[in-house]
Amino acid sequence: MSRRTLIYAAAVQTGLVAVLSIALVIPLGSAFFKHWGWIIGPAAWIVCALGTALILRLPRRRTLIGSLLAGIPSAIAVVVGLHTLGEVVAIVLFALWCAWTAPAPVALRSA
d(CA 67, CA 96): 11
For 48-106, write each residue's pLDDT tens digit. 999 999 999 999 999 999 999 999 999 999 899 898 899 999 999 999 999 999 876 65
CB 94 within 8 A of CB 11: no
Res 78: pLDDT: 87
Question: 48: Cβ–Cβ under 8 A, 6 or more apart, which residues?
Answer: 13, 16, 17, 20
Question: Whole-model pTM above 0.75?
Answer: yes
d(CA 104, CA 4): 12
